[in-house]
Structure 1
Amino acid sequence: MFSLLASVVKYLADPRVRKEVIGLLERLGLIMAMIRDYFAGHYRKLPANTLVALIGALIYFVSPVDTIPDIIPGLGYLDDAGVIAMVFMNFNNDIKAYKKWLEGTDTQR
């Protein structure tokens, strides 16, 4: 087990890997902000299918039942990251619109 953990630590020492992990956490934060702003009534331009996909991705991320169990250090979150990436690819326009709104550059507030 310790050799596996050592491998994970070595893997995370790579700046490219750290950058990807940070990017994943930023995307998760953005997804949570979109959902929170939608249900708070601050941002209502989110299509229903995008909202469902975002909620589904978050549920998959926190669920202990995964394709690759989260208990496996380092590898356990690969499938979760893939789901988050897929949501960002498929709903990129809606996410960009929300980011513009969040940054205050959306003129249709």
Structure 2
Amino acid sequence: MNKNFTENQLIRFLGRLGNKWGTGHDSVSTILRKTKEFIAQKKDKIKFLEKVVILLEMLEAHSEGKYEIDDGSLGLIISALAYLVLPTDLIPDMIVGIGFADDLYAFKLVFDQLSFEIESFKSWQKAELSKIDKASVED
């Protein structure tokens, strides 16, 4: 694999992953499962995974029909999560020290692209928690 990748190569690779995985229910379920397993195994070793959780939460809320995500954003989220769990991407993950550098960069690109959607989701989450808190006080 080429260790000197460009942003365009990474974007094209993410696009191919998005096309491969699609946005159907089975794809979303598989990505959710694989990403949760990956995070559980690697969370202590890879620092940026704590930030990845928001994309996982967005995808999960969408798959449960609780939160709407447009197809473009959904494709980006699925692509980024698929890229994370794919061990042989632009820089294979097994290369000690740099194996996850491309994954980190991929997530930076996705977070930059989805910053508005992520903030909207966080606001929605906060409102949902507020509803739950109010309901528990009323009980």
Whether TM exceeds 0.5 here: the answer is: yes
Is structure 2 residue 102 aligned with structure 1 residue 55?
A: no
Distance 2:122 2:114 in 1: 12
- Stretches of 4+ moved more than 3 A in 1? none
d(CA) in 2 for partners of 1:41, 1:90: 23
Secondary structure, in 3 states, of the residue corresponding to 1:66? coil
Q: Which amino acid aligns with 2:50?
A: E
Q: Distance in 1 between matches of 2:58 and 2:51?
A: 11
Q: TM-score, normalised by structure 2?
A: 0.56
CA contact (8 A) 1:68 1:77 kept: yes
Distance apart, 1:74 and its partner CA: 2.4
Residue 52 (structure 2) aligned to one of 28, 37, 43: 28
Q: TM-score, normalised by structure 1?
A: 0.71
Q: Which one of the candidate residues 75, 80, 95 is aligned to 2:103?
A: 80
Residue identity (%): 31
Gaps of 5+ in 1: 1-20
Shift of 1:65: 1.7
Question: RCO higher in 1 or 2 (8 Å CA, sep ≥ 6)?
Answer: 2
Tell me the amino acid that sits aligned with residue 97 of structure 2: G
Query: Which residue of 86, 95, 98 corresponds with 2:121?
Result: 98
1:64 is displaced (CA, Å) by: 1.5
Amino acid of the structure 1 residue aligned with 2:89 = D
- Cα deviation for residue 26 of structure 1 reads 2.1
Pair 1:43 & 2:67 matched: yes
RMSD: 1.4
